[in-house]
Amino acid sequence: MLLTGERFTAQHAYECGLVSHIAKGDLDGFTAKLAADIAKAASSTLILGKRGYYQQKEMTIEDAYEFAGRVMAGNFVMEDSQEGVCAFLEKRDPQWK
């Protein structure tokens, strides 16, 4: 739309990969649930993931995959990640630090 001025539907945006989900009906409820789901995650993991995303954006695909692998390996040894695995195995809610 920015480059051509042409309008398109939400469904078309979804099919093109411009959006990952289409909220049908209750947009406020959808965004509130999405925010609540994000808030349940360990902040250390969210920070690491967001920083990693922005760092790899300018890399070649090969370098980005290698970098992402290092980030994921580093994330796995973090205390909150270990808590997440334990909580999953023990079928309980995680207690993030």
Co-location of 23 and 58 in the same domain: no
Q: How many domains does the chain have?
A: 2
How far, in Å, CA of 97 to CA of 91, rounded?
18
Task: Using the predicted structure, report yes or no on whether residue 75 has a pLDDT greater than 90.
Answer: no
Q: Is the pLDDT of residue 67 over 90?
A: yes
pTM passes above 0.75: no
Domain that holds residue 77: 42-97
Are both 19 and 63 inside the same structural domain? no
Render pLDDT for 19-57 as a digit per residue (tens, 0 to 9).
888 877 788 888 898 899 988 889 888 888 889 889 998
8 A C-beta contact, residue 50 and residue 43: no
Distance CA 64, CA 53 (A): 9
What H or E segment, with its residue span, contains residue 47? helix 43-56
pLDDT at 84 over 70: yes
Same domain flag for 91 and 57: yes
Nearest CA to 42 among 77, 83, 14?
Answer: 83
86-96 pLDDT tens trace: 999 999 999 98
**CATH number of the CATH domain containing 52:** 1.10.12.10
* pLDDT at 9 (0 to 100): 87
Whether residues 56 and 9 fall in one domain: no
